[in-house]
């Protein structure tokens, strides 16, 4: 696998970033609406708008934020909320490891900043769009996702969630749809299918047995790790 | 209460950053051994279905795999369109519309 195929170096960084941005537009309406829903819920739970904006900007992890707000409302201990956040976000380790080789040669200060914007949706877009992952496609996608989320939150803290029940409009389904669609386009070799099916099945089983957010990390590590040990390296 | 909220936000921000930055910084530096590279190539193949399938098949801690469950049909639409390499925006729009329509009918 070449580190940087010549085709990619010919296209400018701006164009590749735009490609990532445009590829992420499918998600913008859902991410925006969920931003407003989060803003609305958090204010209803007793947080001040400034606190909600700060959390969205500094934590920038939708799933963890949706989990934390009801815990805050219920008066859970700060330690419990922080630990839960950590567990919910452990999947970022896998994404960071996968994205890292694409960022070789970037200044470390850049990497420290880029890291903050790692999110499920941009990871999915970046890994599916180019082989190997293109850092600019990823950054373009992160801009679209971050813009939609951080744009939605203040709307929600002031107007309430724009849509009372996003699921009624199928907007909740945009997330699994993107993950699934971007997974499907990557299936080439029979081993790819085996890994994908095994991981989906294991994740579902873990989610059923251990509610919470362990299933992504457990299935991601166990299945990809096992396959990496079994499949010879440098397989096509 | 207020200090607590800011304390929680700060704590959440720190632990979340600790899940994102260390491996991005560490693994971007040097060429990776082949075995690690092939592992990294397999991670998206494992993580994407692990993100997607429980969102489709698990509802409030229960397995929902009956044909009356709209997300199942949404997933069929995604599979068909993504398999035909229809673009992502159209695929997601069709799947969302399918799920919304089935929920409206149900």
Touching check for A114 and chain B: CB below 8 Å? yes
Please tell me whether the overall predicted TM-score, pTM, comes out greater than 0.95 for this model. no
B15 to A86: CB separation less than 8 angstroms, yes or no: yes
List B53's β-bridge partners, or say none.
Answer: none
Closest listed residue to residue B51, CA positions, set A196, A84, A118: A196
Q: Is residue B39 part of a domain?
A: no
User: Do A152 and A32 meet the contact criterion of CB atoms below 8 Å apart?
Assistant: yes
Q: Which residues contact B48 (CB under 8 A, 6 or more apart)?
A: A124, A127, A179, A180, A182, A183, A186, A196
B6 contacts in A (CB within 8 Å)? 51, 54
From the list A171, A173, A181, the residue facing B82 with the nearest CB is A181
| Domain with B78 in it | 48-105
Q: Render each residue's pLDDT in chain B as its tens digit; 106 residues.
A: 467 899 999 999 999 999 999 999 999 988 888 888 888 888 889 999 999 999 999 998 899 989 999 999 999 999 999 999 988 889 989 999 999 999 999 8
Mean pLDDT of the residues in chain A: 89
Closest listed residue to residue A72, CA positions, set A50, A53, A48, A46: A46
Closest listed residue to residue A215, CA positions, set B24, B69, B57: B57
Is A2's pLDDT higher than 50?
no
A182 contacts in B (CB within 8 Å)? 48, 82, 88
B8 to A195: CB separation less than 8 angstroms, yes or no: no
B79 contacts in A (CB within 8 Å)? 180, 184
Q: How many domains does chain B have?
A: 1
Closest listed residue to residue A123, CA positions, set A109, A137, A106: A137
CA distance B18 to A32: 26
Interface probe, candidates B14, B47, B93, B98, chain A, greatest A C-beta count within 10 A: B47
Closest listed residue to residue B39, CA positions, set A79, A223, A75: A223
Q: Is residue B99 part of a domain?
A: yes
A59 to B13: CB separation less than 8 angstroms, yes or no: yes
Interface probe, candidates A183, A205, A232, chain B, greatest B C-beta count within 10 A: A183
């Amino acid at each position: 696998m070449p580190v940087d195929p010549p085709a990619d170096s010919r296209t400018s960084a701006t164009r590749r970033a735009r490609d990532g941005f445009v590829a992420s537009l499918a998600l913008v309406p859902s991410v925006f609406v969920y931003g407003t829903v989060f803003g609305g819920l958090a204010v209803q739970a007793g947080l001040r708008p400034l606190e909600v904006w700060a959390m969205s900007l500094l934590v920038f992890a939708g799933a963890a934020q949706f989990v934390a707000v009801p815990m805050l409302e219920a008066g859970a201990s700060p330690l419990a909320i922080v630990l839960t956040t950590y567990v919910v976000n452990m999947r970022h380790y896998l994404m960071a490891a996968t994205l890292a080789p694409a960022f070789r040669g970037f200044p470390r200060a850049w990497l420290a900043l880029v890291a903050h914007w790692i999110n499920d949706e941009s990871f999915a877009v970046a890994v599916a769009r180019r082989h190997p992952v293109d850092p600019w496609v990823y950054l373009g996608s992160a801009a679209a996702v971050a813009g939609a989320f951080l744009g939605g939150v203040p709307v929600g803290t002031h107007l309430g969630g724009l849509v009372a029940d996003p699921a009624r409009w199928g907007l909740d389904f945009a997330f699994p749809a993107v993950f699934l669609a971007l997974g499907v386009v990557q299936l080439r070799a029979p081993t790819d299918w085996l890994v994908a099916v095994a991981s989906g099945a294991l994740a579902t089983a873990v989610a059923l047995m251990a509610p919470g957010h362990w299933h992504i990390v457990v299935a991601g590590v166990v299945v990809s790790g096992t396959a990496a040990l079994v499949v010879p390296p440098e397989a096509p | 209460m207020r200090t607590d909220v800011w304390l929680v936000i700060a704590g959440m921000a720190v632990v979340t950053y600790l899940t994102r930055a260390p491996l991005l910084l560490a693994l971007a530096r040097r060429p990776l051994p082949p075995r690690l590279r092939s592992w990294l190539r397999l991670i998206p193949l494992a993580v994407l279905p692990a993100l997607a399938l429980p969102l489709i098949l698990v509802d409030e801690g229960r397995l929902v795999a009956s044909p009356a469950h709209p997300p199942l049909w949404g997933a069929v639409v995604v599979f068909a369109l993504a398999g035909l390499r229809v673009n992502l925006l159209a695929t997601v729009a069709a799947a969302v519309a399918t799920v919304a329509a089935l929920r409206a009918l149900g």
